[in-house]
A = this chain, B = another copy of it.
Amino acid sequence: MAVDREKFQKLLKEKGLKMTRQRLVVLEVLAENPEQHLTAEDIYERVKVENPDIGLATVYRTVQLLLELELIDRINLDDGFIRYEIGSLDEEEHHRYHHLICLRCGKVSAFQDDMLEALETGVKQALGFQVVDHEVKLYGYCKDCLEKEHK
C-alpha cells in the first residue's frame, strides 16, 4: 500500500505542520506492514534500515502525530507495548476490526464483524451514551496451538 504524499502534505499543512523525510518514512513503514501491530521499537528498527540517523524519539513523536491525523490506529495488547497499524482506507470498515489474541503463542490476528453496531445503538437508547469508537479483544487459543495440544 503506497502513501499518497500529496494528501499527507495537505493534512499536515492544515495544522501548520511540515512534511519531513522522517514523517514520510514512518508512515511508509506502517503502510507497508498492514495488520502487523508494530511497536514503536519495531517501527524504529525498520525505519533505520534506510534511515540510520533517525532517533527513537522522532518515531514516538511521529506516531502521536499520525494518530491525531487519524492515519493510524493504536492497539494495546496489555503486554507493555503500544502498537500501531495503518488505518483502513475504507471509512465504512474502519471500526469493524477486532483482534484475536492467542494466550499461548501470543499471535494476534484480526477479524471483521459489524455486529457491534446494534450494540452501540442499544447503549445509546438505554444509557444515553454516544459511542464513537470501540475496541474488542478476544483472548483464547488459536487453531495452530489447539492442534499442537491435541497431539
Identical chains bound together, number: 2
A120 on the interface (CB 8 Å rule)?
Answer: yes
Q: Using a Cβ–Cβ cut-off of 8 Å, how many residues does chain A contribute to the interface with B? A: 36
A119 on the interface (CB 8 Å rule)?
Answer: yes
A14 on the interface (CB 8 Å rule)?
Answer: no
Please name 11 pairs of A and B residues whose Cβ atoms are closer than 8 Å in the assembled complex, sorted by A. Answer: A78-B82, A102-B129, A109-B129, A111-B127, A120-B138, A129-B140, A130-B141, A131-B139, A133-B138, A133-B139, A134-B136
Chain B residue nearest to A124 (CB atoms) is B140
Known: A100-B129, A115-B119, A127-B111. A137 touches B140 (CB 8 A): no
Residues of B within 8 A of A133 (CB): 138-140
- Report A77 CB to chain B, min CB distance, Å: 9
Chain B residue nearest to A113 (CB atoms) is B119
A3 on the interface (CB 8 Å rule)?
Answer: no
A123 on the interface (CB 8 Å rule)?
Answer: yes
- Report A23 CB to chain B, min CB distance, Å: 23
